[in-house]
Structure 1
């Protein structure tokens, strides 16, 4: 009988549960007796006004939901335990007898109040914060033009100050040159005057002696003062050497450090707009992330054999720019080609006439080449070849230019028992990399070892004899050895030769045995093969757009390959 009582109680006051319903609150949608109206009106301060009307004048109630278990019944109650609306039949069935049951309109009313409170909070508290936040972000966006403009202006102004300093130095040096020139001129002018005076005296003496010789008068002859001994002492000719200007060469990296640098871009996250709590994290602006193509494609082919000096073998390639590429092979010429046209632009003959072993380009655009026969490393500036490194008891193998302007040179001892990498600043040896932490050799000796510096400053060496890529950090500590990936395109042992890196710190190495290029990440994990019908891939280089250039030893062609987006 309890269910019937609960159904009957639905017509009683929602507060006291005993008095007969006489009033109705249209705001909260509950029925009340007269005695409970005051208490109800004061019960919830969040509601400013309760619409209290007589029960018979109440507005029609909202439609009750249909029962999911009994199609013809409507649900006036709600089971909190099952979290479902229930009808009177459900209550009679005693399936919810031990559950906490409330009137659905009471739940409806309480939920309406909660939603009303949330709505008021969203309108009065949260929405204004969102508006203010959006306004602040828009203002920051509007300020960017000025702030970055001021930043560019500051850099320009600082550059003008440097130009001013340099202009002043140049002006002072030129003024000093003018002073020295004037002094030099005055010295020579005085010297010339003295010589001219002596010339006049000599001419006068010659004239006098000539007259005496032509005269028969004895008296002048006896009085003649001979000056031949005086004139035999020739006039002094001053030699004043002109001063020389010796420029102090500075690497671009040194200028950058002295000039100044930008701080990294800082991002601020605002996790709680209402509390204003902020967390700062710094993010360095780096190159955009690129994805490897599933199928790399050949963009163009440069046929070096068309240059007239046909390579017997094409050894190495080095990008001068995105439009020009240096090549070298089994001749004493190093040739510069147009990448887009495939035409020969320039030819450099080696200083000694020997075949170059390897080439590279510095970050200032100068060509560097190895002369293994001469045991030298040479740099080409404005068409002039300068030997910067000359080895004794060691033979240079390969060279690369670092981001700081240093040169890294791989070399073997004359007895082919030792191998090492040496870092040079100009002609000065800065660092030697030869052994690991256990004192064991890092590199095998006796064969070519191509070298490249990665974007993370790791030093990567393709060790031909060891069939491995050996990677050490900037300090020379071993990071990893990569010994190939199986299955390889031709299932041959890994045979690394040329090596290069790209903007993503990928390491690319030519596998001569499998006619492909391996791509590995900066931690030595294999990523992909580049297999574009290559024939004897040997020399590698990448341009600023991460296009790969492969020098083919057997075909004397350079293939330009697009391998990532």
Structure 2
């Protein structure tokens, strides 16, 4: 049997390509360093990754068995027939004059092709499908909202009709009462005349009877009878009642009169979705549009939030932002109008420590008092993570749909980052390569476009950046001179489409902008006062929450670079 012994040469990690290989994944045939094991495990959670130490990997390769010659191993590959072949196959006439290759060469070429295709699936196709799913979910949420608005419009129109009908009822009832009173008054007047005649007739009868019974015959000659007058009976008055003629309520006609719905439709775009281009896919040219820093940042608008103290802000869209202050209420504002759209109180009634918006558009917040991470869906609050010996601090959503949560131990002596898929813990980042703690207690967190994890650690006064595997890349400790010449104290943190990292500096009343490798670019200090939380929207507008004056400032600081 032919054997191929594993070479003792130094291999590079398939992910970071800079570290010696220590681990091998038999399921994916991938070589990994220890730091990249976690990142590899989450690239394809559907697989049962079988990880072994590289030196424990078997040294003997098992060649394919020949389909035509029993117990013969295929050590060559027929390029014309595109099948592995054994020595007996090569000796036969079947493959005479066919071009053959060493099977290991073909295997390596096929492996390279599969790795390339796997990378394309991981870096381009899979993220594209995630974006499509997110787009469909967004359309569904928008559909729910628009259908809700439609139902509200119909209800509003119906209430308007009810009001008009009530007015018409009152008007018709008033007309009926007026007609009734007029006719009753006429009949009453007629009755009064008749009763007067009745009284006069009685008096006439009495006078006649007295004259007839009197001994004084002269009284008979003095009385004059008016019987002929009363013999003409009064006219008969018969009132004519009005009739109510109801309008016909026929379904189709009434529907047209009230209003009707236009038909709904679903259209399909034959061109479909475009493939997502990620920062990893160098072959497809995936870089975002290049934008340059403005010479002078521009304040676009100010939004007054009404808190006693404003702490944080998170973008829901380019039109709406969530805010949180020093009470239990989180508020959603319309950016352009500055109007309050919605208010939501925390489930526990406690003050939220941090807020963020997930990839799907849901609001998520941490509750230090009851040690939970909560998500708001359709006005309902759900505890997705409940901790026991740790307290959650900062939270952010990631491009993969996971949550990154910073947390400190119960005794406040330790701090770490944990990645969650739903409520399942996937990754923990706590120490550097020397086993020293990466973080202190009070940390805000965000994910950069290159999947770096960026943390503002105001206790150690640094922005700490690790790669997706949790390996320390750099620490940014401020820039000199600072606008107020005070110590750098980072608080809120965010990133933009250019992979810039932005952090507020409360001590110097400004925002620091650094590049993805930790190099200082510039300050934003356009009249900011006590900036704390911040975020950016999809158009790279910056939103800064100011502590004491409770305003959110919308700032334009980038402009697209036009190349000729």
Larger Rg: 1
User: TM-score, normalized by length of structure 2?
Assistant: 0.50
**Larger RCO, structures 1/2 (Cα 8 Å, 6+ apart):** 2
User: TM-score, normalized by length of structure 1?
Assistant: 0.50
